Structure 1
Amino acid sequence: MQTGVSTAGQREWESASIARIKADFNRSGDTHLIPVPLSGYPGIDVYLKDESSHPTGSLKHRLARSLFLYALANGWLREGTPVIEASSGSTAVSEAYFARLLGLPFIAVMPATTSPEKIAAIEFQGGRCHFTERARDLYGVSQQLARDTGGHFMDQFTYAERATDWRANNNIAESIFRQMAAEPHPVPDWIVCSPGTGGTATTLGRYVRYCGHPTRVLCADPEISVLFDYYRSECAGAADPSLVLEQGSRIEGIGRPRVEPSFIAGCVDAMVKVPDALSLAAMRHVSAVLGRRVGGSTGTQFVGVLLAARKMYEEGRMGSVVSILCDSGDRYTHSYYDPDWYVRQGIDIDAADAQWMRALQGDPLRGLQVAGVL
């Protein structure tokens, strides 16, 4: 992190940089809210907030913008100083975009397993990639790179929850409620998201409480992640923030091998741990319904959508559920849309698709773990 008192020239550069980011925002429209049919559950309306339409193609565009504005407002960035980030891909793509906008070098520290499409997208935006074999090493390697280069470690996993203005300022929660205003059930019963940094879940949870909405937040965690287990320990009154895993999540962009500071458990009403095979079956279903490929994190969340819809249906309630289309499936041609990848991972596509189709028709979802109040 850069330190020191700002000079007149530094303040002028900061002001010009903030103005560039604001101008870029003004050139970008809001993302669409897409209705998605869920025929097995009449009276329950489902919507996906399509964050893939951002200039950098994912939900992380909002986060990257907020992180850069936060760092500039704090006086942490200097003209010409490298920006370093620990990221599994999408955040790095978006941060590379904003670094290039400000004329700053950018280095993404990421797992060696990151998809080639994301690596190419980072490099297209002018960034470069630094790879680690273990997901849990991302943070330490990023800190060391920042020291070695005299750069600034952006640290999305610490600052995501505080960089976003959760009261307003076009955060994703405000946008969802504004776009839902003319729908049959304008106040969603549930908003379903997935935790990576935890910043989106925290923003959603804070916003609905701040506005007095009865909406609840359901977080869908992938199979290889400690966040569900941490949340469950928090619910039991014995929170264990020391949980770690050696392996990173197979669902890129969500799930973490350690508990991140930006994941605020109290902002979440319930969590579900989703087997990766089921996440990817749901991903294929959503892709077929929309007629375009979506990423794996969208599938994980859609399992949460179905879980929430089933609960509402069993209770005889009508209403709405909103979730997030995080990014395009075109970033995963070499993984989720490659049959050989499933063979290497030991995932039975046919069995997962069959289970998912039965669930759509009303069968209970199997293999899930749930914590909190659903």
Structure 2
Amino acid sequence: MDEQLVKKLQELYSIVKDEISESLKKGSCTIIISHKAIAAVDIKLAEEVLNNPKNTLKVLEKFFSQKLGINVKVRIKDLPKDRWIRIRDIRSEHIGKLIETEGIIKVSTEVRPVVVAVKYYHNKCGGEFWYNLFGEDSDKEQFIRFKIEKPKVCSVCGESEGRFVEVERKTVDMQRLLVEETPDQIERGEQPAQIIVFLTEDLCEPRMERRTIPGTRIRIVGVVEALQNSKTQAVLDLIINAVYIEPVEKDIEDIKISEEDELKIKELAKSGDVLNILARSIAPSIHGKHYEHIKKALILQLVGGVKKIRSDGTRVRGDIHMLLIGDPGTGKSITPDSKIVIIDESRKINVVPIGEFVDQLIEDNTNKVILYGDTEILNLLDI
């Protein structure tokens, strides 16, 4: 390994060593590194991670494995904004590149072992060699085929004559996800686009199961690959080989409470008025006796109670079912003197009361005012 590169990687290690230590304490052999940390050390290395992720990740894994004395997997997160791509915008130009996207899991398969390499014996020269089916040898083939094929040439002697006898297989765990665009990413008239995402090795561990449940919204960092189902098929399917995934909405078990947070929680619990304090923290600009009851109901829906055992041995569960019924428009009304920000055609910013602004609109567009009972409706659909 180049001395200059080793120096840069040592610098990177000094930045992320605390996170690595924390991960190893939990028994994980996965190192998650922010792309921002790599860019802070060396821009060229950061660009290589984006444009040549497979080879660069191998280099990173080799360095950290030697440094820590154990085999580790390196995962990359926090890509630059220009690498965030909608599922429908993924094209052939992205093949072999590292990208980031987001979507909702529609289908999640069971974790299954997949053969990634086969060890062959060549009867002519007596040599044995590993033949990688995809992934590591993707430089020789620009697409993935989930099919075991015998090599055409011996890697030991370079001859094609003779028989290749299978000796051993190497497998890894793999899971397939069907991910669909989220509603907020879709413009009017568009149908949500979908893409297949493959998870392998540590991304399939039992601890990751909660993150791959259908309906979960996830953020994906991965390498775009082309999938060919048969040798004669000219049209390829684009898929993502995941490098890192995380749910957009964190699971409650993933939330870390610091010592400072713990002290604040205990102090709050001793106050004796915790329900009212928490209720007032929800939408503080909306106030009044009617709204306080709604806020308290929301708090009670958010938390669980404590299981109790009575003197006769019967158990009382801590959680109860609660149904909050109310007007979905609650808290949306504002008074005429509420201030709003208006930007006119000259880009000048004005702060005016909303009542005054609406009165002026009605005065300027009297021919577009429709009377509906006692209500004046201003129809400005053509503006």
Q: Please state which band the TM-score falls in when normalised by the shorter chain.
A: under 0.3
Q: Highest Rg: 1 or 2?
A: 2
More helix by share: 1
Identify the structure with bigger relative contact order (alpha carbons < 8 Å, sequence gap 6+).
1
More strand by share: 2
